[in-house]
Structure 1
Amino acid sequence: MVIRRSGLVLGATAVTLSTIAVAGLVNLPQGQALFKESPKEIVDEVWQIIYRQYVDGTFNQVDWQAVRKEYLDKKYTDKEQAYKSIREMLKKLNDPYTRFMDPKEFKNMQVDTSGELTGVGITIGLDEETKKLTVIAPLEDTPAFKAGILAKDVITKINGKSTEGMDTSEAVTLIRGEPGSQVKLTISRSGEKPRDYLITRAKIEIHPVDYSVKQTPAGKTGYIRLKQFSANASKEMRDAITNLEKKNVDGYVLDLRNNPGGLLFSSIEIARMWLKDGTIVSTVDRKGVVEKEAASGRSLTEKPLVVLVDKGSASASEILSGALQDNKRAVLVGSKTFGKGLVQSVRPLDDGSGVAVTIAKYLTPSGADINKAGIKPDIKVELSDEQRQNLWLKQRDKLATLQDPQFAKAIEELKKEIAAKGNVRAERK
């Protein structure tokens, strides 16, 4: 499998997805033509995509040929019946990330090219073990973020409707809405009683990268906060590193905390800005074929780097942090990452609906499969949920300062890395 820019997203299904360039429908084998002019057409179209592309050639021990016969033997009077059958068909795979979206849901999933979206600002997915609707991470400075929603929160109800058995597409439709309108999310958090959050929807402008120069005990530090891997994240990251290099920073702290991931190509492009050489990521498809993406020899800086991660760092964040860790390019500080190691291809269908299909899993350069396991930081600095809420919501002025325990530890390690690099230079003279 070749990693391409089009249609590849990582891990979680997002309420607030970045723009996705969707790929075309695969060619169909002879003798399995679509049922034109019939609601059965869309059923078979989805079946064919799964048949050709799904990551597991056994279809998770499901007789996929028998499934085709079962659902094409049915009579359909309208597309709504076909849509219902498709959802039932895909549930047989027991894969929360392979899902069908009707035309409205598919449209809602996409963000327009202006970089704005309407919603509450959370990334959600179904937990693979519990099948519960789970928050991957809130996007920074969005309504959900300001309301206090945290990574790993379980959404038990949406406007009073139970989410038990609900797929992410339906959840997206219920959560999104017009700016100024409200949605009530009932949240279950570990060790606490369920609580209702009334959140006002808003139009959200996405700026994936913030950066600044900070005077710290490590010296002149370039601080870069990467919020998500959207279509324009790599350009903004390049601009950030280039500008910070001009200011002669001594080293960098890259903050991936609460970054839920996004586009696969974005994580690869950004990794190449930090890595001079080495493997970035390997992908394994249904045939067991491994394709590797490597550094291009055109890194923008070789200065010391420390990366901040936490349980809200998922998917593309884990590809980037895993590549930097395994290649010994950076020290990882914080807590274990979320654990999303799957790649989906998002495909439009003929009637305006769409389907997301899990087509591969990815491995870090060392060959580690982090799905469900996450990436362990080199230096562990755990924060309780209360500490995280205080830091990210109530005391934002302390974030990325020496009063931020994870950032403070990152600076401590960066100082060591800068000193070590200086000693190596001295020895070489």
Structure 2
Amino acid sequence: MLMAKRGLILSTTAALTAAVAVVGFQLANPSAAAFKSSPKELVDEVWQVINREYVDGNFNKVDWQQTRRKYLSRDYASKAEAYRAVREMLKTLDDPYTRFMDPEQFKSMQIDTSGELTGVGIQLGMDENTKKLTVISPIEGSPAARAGILAKDIIITIAGKSTEGMDINQAVALIRGPSGTKVKLGVQRGGRTFDVELERAKIEVHPVKAEVRDSGIGKVGYIRLTQFNGNAASDMRKAIQSHVDQNVKGFILDLRSNPGGLLYSSAEIARMWLDNATIVSTIDRKGESERLTANRQALTDKPLVVLVDGGSASASEILSGALQDNKRAVLVGTKTFGKGLVQSVHRLGDESGLAVTIAKYYTPNGTDINHSGIKPDISIELTDSDRERLVKNRDLIGTIEDPQYAKALEVLTKRVQNPQLPSVSRN
């Protein structure tokens, strides 16, 4: 197996638009001719990658050697048969973030991390307790967002088919389709269910939206980051520098409903706010740790407040955790999603792909947020009426009419007026 390039991804979700948090790729290019003559080669290739890299050396109590014997004892007459076998084999690991992608799905994932999407704009995850397909967040400006889909909504049907027992890849296959066509989703939100018809479309992801605003303390920089894709770091740098040049008094960084993205993008953005500090640590199955640090490249030391919620996941949690643990920012909002997994992505011989969970990540204080999420310093929930109002008029998000933003501005105002305030006690 020839390794052309290596990298990692943070697993937060498998998105219906193929948006997972990508840090890079490990590209494997075995002989295409060998695969064509024997689809079994693909099955063994996937097994070998899992055997070498999977985060749990006990493979979640699966006899992985026996698994190899079982699946290599079969004959596969086509790619489709090999694909089904691979998915069946991976399902035994009970890890929705270790997954196989056919060539179309793999291409979509690569497109997503570049910042260009096609689909309905839903980041979809598998709830580890209920095993239900759950919305992490809709993508800003997407058909799903315009239709009012919210984080934590449960997708119960797709085009009339029940999602019970359906994995993320199957959901992706049902929801994807040509731009301009429609798909109907059955949604459960709290105690009620309803249908939403969405028109598939090309989605341009502009991950950074920035604005300098007047306030009672002078100019304030508001930056909303919706995804950590390939453009996020450069766009963030431009936004911060522009605000610094306009002499803002402080910043509000909005990470709400940000499902994550590139690991190294989140680290690079953290370095724009931190001077000399640990950003994140990863630990693999051998206990080997890699630490990413800030190295005196901060663009500003002005006061910072970060907005988070249940849709802030993965790379968002790395950034917010680094800023919180290093006392660089005050976090306002609600508890984050709680996904702390690192993945390696492999391109396989027929241009299909494999994402493998290979490590966990920890905040600078050593917190494993994979199940618990990150608690904000100051908690403020939106009421149902607040949510409905903001969904109906999304232009109100990040304004004084948004209760969480209003609280963030209040906190920032106090920090600007009294820089010596002690660290906030978490509640």
Same-fold status (TM-score > 0.5): yes
Counterpart of 2:242 in 1: which secondary structure?
A: helix
Q: Taking structure 2 as the reference length, what is the TM-score of the superposition?
A: 0.92
Q: Is 1:22 equivalent to 2:25 in the alignment?
A: yes
Change (3 A) 1:113 1:13: closer
How many angstroms apart in 2 are the aligned matches of 1:325 and 1:113? 26
Alignment identity in percent?
Answer: 61
Shift of 1:423: 8.9
How many residues get paired? 413
Match of 2:220 in 1: 221
2:278 maps to 279
Partner of residue 352, structure 1: 351
Deviation at 1:25, TM superposition (A): 3.1
Report the equivalent of 2:102: 102
2-structure distance, mates of 1:118, 1:200:
11
**Contact kept in structure 2, 1:125 and 1:133, CA below 8 Å:** yes
Change (3 A) 1:35 1:312: closer
Q: Once the two structures are superposed, what CA deviation does each residue of 1:305-341 show, in whole Å capped at 9, x if it has no partner? A: 0000111111111000000000000000001111111
User: Hey, what's the Cα distance between the residues in 2 that align with 1:108 and 1:115?
Assistant: 11
Give the drift of 1:59.
0.4
Residues 191-270 of structure 1: matches in 2 within 5 Å? 191-192=191-192, 194-270=193-269
Q: Deviations over 1:349-375 (max 9, x none)?
A: 101211111111111111111112111
CA 253–190 in structure 1, closer or farther in 2 if over 3 Å, else same: same
| Cα pair distance change 1:183/1:386, threshold 3 Å | farther
Q: Flag structure 2 segments of 5+ consecutive residues without an equivalent.
A: 423-427
Cα distance between partner residues in 1 of 2:398 and 2:96: 35
| Cα distance, 1:410 vs structure 2 | 0.6
The one-letter code matched in structure 2 to 1:365 is P
Aligned to 1:414: 412
> Residue in 1 aligned with 2:132?
132
Q: For 1:287 and 1:25, how far apart are their aligned partners in 2?
A: 23
Aligned-residue RMSD, C-alpha = 2.1
Paired with 1:18 and 1:287, the residues of 2 have a C-alpha distance of 25
> Contact (CA 8 Å) 2:278, 2:294: kept in 1 or not?
yes
Q: What TM-score results when the alignment is normalised by the length of structure 1?
A: 0.92
Structure 1 letter corresponding to 2:125: G
Q: Structure 1 residue 178: deviation in Å?
A: 1.5
State the secondary structure of the residue aligned to 1:60: helix
The question of 1:302 aligning with 2:301 is answered yes
Q: Give the 3-state SS of the residue equivalent to 2:332 in structure 1.
A: strand
> What's the counterpart of residue 12 of structure 1?
13
Counterpart-to-counterpart distance in 2, 1:110 and 1:161: 28
Deviates more, 1:266-275 or 1:110-119: 110-119
- AA partner of residue 325 (structure 1): Q
The letter for the 1-side match of 2:14 is T
Classify 1:416/1:113 alpha carbon distance in 2 versus 1 (closer, same or farther; 3 Å): closer
Offset from partner CA, 1:143-200 (integer Å, 9 cap, x none): 10010100011111110111122121121121122221101111111222x1110011
Name the amino acid aligned to 2:225: L
Q: 2:425 maps to what in 1? A: none
- Secondary structure in 2 matching 1:317: helix
> Secondary structure of 1:46's match?
helix
What one-letter code is carried by the residue in structure 2 that aligns with 1:416? K
Extract unaligned runs of 5+ from structure 1: 28-33, 425-429
- SS of aligned partner of 1:129: coil
* Mean CA deviation greater in 160-169 or 369-378: 160-169
Matched residues in 1 for 2:287 and 2:139: separation?
A: 35
Return the offset for 1:110. Answer: 2.9
Question: How far, CA to CA, are the matches of 1:11 and 1:66 in structure 2?
Answer: 30
Alpha-carbon distance in 1 for matches of 2:320, 2:151 = 18
Task: Work out the CA distance in 1 between the residues paired with 2:308 and 2:270.
Answer: 15
AA of the residue aligned to 2:60: N
Which deviates further from its counterpart, 253-262 or 16-25?
Answer: 16-25
Pair 1:133–1:266, CA change in 2 (3 A)? same
Q: Does the Cα contact within 8 Å between 1:229 and 1:262 map onto a contact in 2?
A: yes
Residue identity in the other structure for 1:6: G
Compute the displacement of 1:18 (Å).
6.9
Tell me, in whole angstroms, the C-alpha distance in 2 between the residues paired with 1:301 and 1:110. 32
Deviations 1:249-278 (A, max 9, x none): 000000001111111111000000001121
Contact in 1 for aligned 2:208/2:226 (Cα 8 Å)? yes
Deviation at 1:79, TM superposition (A): 2.0
Q: Once structures 1 and 2 are overlaid, which stretch shifts more, 249-258 or 109-118?
A: 109-118
Cα 1:385–1:110 shift into 2, 3 Å: farther
Deviation at 1:7, TM superposition (A): 4.2
SS in 2 for 1:174: helix
Tell me by how many angstroms 1:118 deviates: 1.4
Q: Give the Cα–Cα distance (whole angstroms) in 1 for the partners of residues 273 and 190 of structure 2.
A: 36
Instruction: Give SS of 2:418's match.
Output: helix
Q: CA deviation at 1:403?
A: 1.9
2:403 matched to 1:405? yes
Residues 130-139 or 231-240, more deviating: 130-139
